[in-house]
Amino acid sequence: MSVLVVGSIALDTVKTPVEEHADLLGGSASYAAVGASFFTPVNLVGVVGDDFPSAHIDYFGSRQIDLTGLQTVPGKTFRWSGEYMWDLNTRETRSVELNVFEHFNPVLPAGYQSAPYVLLANIGPNLQNHVLDQMQRPRFVIADTMDLWINIALDELLRLLARVDMLILNDGEARQLTKETSLIKAAAKIRAMGPAYVVIKKGEHGALLFGPNAQFFSCGAYPLEDIHDPTGAGDTFAGGLAGYLAAQDHGTVTFESLRKGVVFGSILASFNVEKFSLERLRTLTQADIDERYASFRRMSQFEVLA
Amino acid sequence: MSVLVVGSIALDTVKTPVEEHADLLGGSASYAAVGASFFTPVNLVGVVGDDFPSAHIDYFGSRQIDLTGLQTVPGKTFRWSGEYMWDLNTRETRSVELNVFEHFNPVLPAGYQSAPYVLLANIGPNLQNHVLDQMQRPRFVIADTMDLWINIALDELLRLLARVDMLILNDGEARQLTKETSLIKAAAKIRAMGPAYVVIKKGEHGALLFGPNAQFFSCGAYPLEDIHDPTGAGDTFAGGLAGYLAAQDHGTVTFESLRKGVVFGSILASFNVEKFSLERLRTLTQADIDERYASFRRMSQFEVLA
């Protein structure tokens, strides 16, 4: 099955303590769509300006990403600039230019409206709701979000939560949304807001997956010696998870598939941070993914392995 | 096989944001010995003053803990007092009275000198070295340590590292000892200092086990809704790990046993923090441990389970 990915497409300028690069391909939908494309065909909905390099369009096209839903409009592409502190865990946004993204109206091409799998990558919850308004009955809807929307668009976000099957957010955001310090209590509160499943990301410490009937999975992070650019790790995680799920479709989503989806999302994210922008994903092969999966399995299983 | 445990025995006063309790049974050897006793007989070496409550002695005796190596000397027992901040992650030591511990000379009874499994719980590395000086060829020696000894007794600690099979320390201490931010690089440096195996504890985020030939295991922490007293979690972890290993003895220590030892250490520690002092361990049953192991397995395995 294909997966519908909606989100932002941006040109990023990223500074770390050792490097700075300008006008990199970025945005939540770029990372998520490419992440998902390692598992299944993707339908991408987003907007770019007429300054958007055709090389990036060609790159999307070279993956199994359908671009019927990609709008190119007069003006400049969304630009974001950020700087990471020495530990690469703290980030400061240096500038945001919404440009053509300011008036983005995500319109689903007719063929996308019946998509069974939907990833609402990180954009305003009003836009995420607007996408769902156009859809028939999707089988599984995943929404990603961030602290900004909890701060400035909480009502829209709560309206969204009642309509999605899974919410992905990080530990700080889960605590912010629920006022609970315990992530277990926070996940229970979020599930009560709507989504049957909640994924809480813990950065370098992995991710927790919560589901109905006290179903629970704790996924370790893949330990890396060197991280070059954390930008897009969360988006790539969400894309890998959504793509894997869609590819496994057997008419229903099992907790088994969700567990493995979280593992594959983590693997994709672990590759993504090894280089700037989507550079590592450009050269990533199925063999790379298989090898890291095997090593992930070895490092986290503690009973005798077959 | 039995395990030899050497460390401190204390009376603790512990304050959390919600409770304060005085004169609790504490000390690295108390937690470690009781933790290990869930898996195998323990030989305990430590010192207490003549004020040490006989009820605590009786409790040790009620576990499979041999007390031939426990010295009772005139004077007061080692006392420690600490306070936890609201998140229970930050701790301030309020007072330390070494008392009889100041002149502790760990002497191994004759029957202990050929012990195959040794846990040098957290005490000064000079004392840990002194214990090893008295031993014949133990099969597997585990040492625990803390930031204090890295700061004030680094040479003794480095001398110790050349003589042990495994070092257990937390992430901050591993970075402090090696000046590496990456835990993978830190573990490699520590292994180069002597121990074939290194366990880096990450508090609520679990623990990493590193061994020869790039052997690696990442153990998630058991997620708890409520933590009441983190005191002794690390000591209980070390005790559970050492006790499990000794119990599995098949003439050699396998990475398979080490992985499971880390899991059982984590399980013991997860129980220990549920109540003050060793209160939760007092009522802990084999069935409790088995149940949590099963749930640990469910939460961390991602392939189809038998």
Chain A environment of B300 (Cβ under 8 Å): 217-218, 220, 300-302
Residues B20-24: contacts with CB within 8 Å, 24+ apart? Answer: B21/B276, B21/B277, B24/B276, B24/B277
pLDDT at B306: 45
pLDDT tens-place string over residues A65-88: 999 999 999 999 999 999 998 777
Å between B221 CA and nearest CA of chain A: 9
Residue B292's region, left for phi above 0, alpha for psi from -120 to 50, else beta, is alpha
A/B interface, count of CB pairs below 8 Å: 80
Q: Closest Cα to residue B271, out of B229, B218, B210, B208?
A: B229
Count of helices and strands (H, E) across chain B: 11, 13
Chain B environment of A184 (Cβ under 8 Å): 223-225
A176 to A186, A192, B51, B92, B136: CA distances (angstroms): 9, 16, 48, 27, 56
B136 versus A304: which is more confidently predicted?
Answer: B136
pLDDT at A249: 81
pLDDT at A306: 45
pLDDT tens-place string over residues B170-219: 999 999 999 998 899 999 999 999 999 999 999 888 999 999 999 999 99
- The mean pLDDT value for A208-227 works out to 91
What is the set of domains in chain B, with CATH numbers? Answer: 3-300 (3.40.1190.20)
Verify whether the Cβ–Cβ distance A225 to B297 is below 8 Å.
no
pLDDT tens-place string over residues B9-64: 999 999 998 899 999 999 999 999 999 999 999 999 999 999 999 999 999 999 99
CB B131 within 8 A of CB B16: no
Burial letters A215-245, b for 16+ CB under 10 A, else e = ebbbbbbbbeeebbbbbbbbbbbbbbbbbbb
Say whether pLDDT at B159 is over 50.
yes
Say whether pLDDT at B130 is over 70.
yes
Helices (H), B8-152: 28-36, 54-62, 125-133, 147-152
Please give the Cα distance from A170 to A89 (Å, whole number): 13
pLDDT tens-place string over residues B101-127: 999 999 999 999 999 999 999 999 999
Q: Which residues of chain B approach chain A closer than 8 Å at the C-beta?
A: 87, 181-185, 202, 205-206, 208, 216-221, 223-226, 256, 259-260, 262-263, 297-304
Q: Is the dihedral of CA A245, A249, A255, A260 positive or negative?
A: negative
> What percent of chain A is modeled with pLDDT above 70?
99
Please give the Cα distance from B106 to B126 (Å, whole number): 11
With bands split at pLDDT 50, 70 and 90, how would you rate the model's confidence at A181? confident
Interface probe with A: pick from B201, B292, B302, B305, most Cβ of A within 10 Å: B302
Q: How long, in residues, is chain A?
A: 306
Please give the Cα distance from B145 to B126 (Å, whole number): 12
CB atoms within 10 A of CB B82: 18
Verify whether the Cβ–Cβ distance A185 to B225 is below 8 Å.
yes
Chain A environment of B301 (Cβ under 8 Å): 300-301, 303
Segment (H or E) for B290: helix B286-300
**ipTM of this complex prediction, to 2 decimal places:** 0.82
B226 versus A233: which is more confidently predicted?
Answer: A233
pTM of the predicted model over 0.80? yes
Please give the Cα distance from A281 to A286 (Å, whole number): 11
pLDDT tens-place string over residues B279-288: 999 999 999 9
The residues, ordered by sequence, that sit 6+ positions from B171 with a Cβ below 8 Å of its Cβ are B183, B200, B201, B202, B203
What single DSSP character describes residue A222? P
Residue B61 token pair: 């005796």
Residues forming beta bridges with residue A144, ordered by sequence position: A168
Beta strand pairing status for B216-219 and A197-201? unpaired
With bands split at pLDDT 50, 70 and 90, how would you rate the model's confidence at B241? very high
The residues, ordered by sequence, that sit 6+ positions from B273 with a Cβ below 8 Å of its Cβ are B224, B227, B228, B229, B230, B233, B280
Q: At what angle do helices A154-161 and A125-133 cross, to 10 degrees?
A: 40
Interface probe with B: pick from A218, A256, A266, most Cβ of B within 10 Å: A218
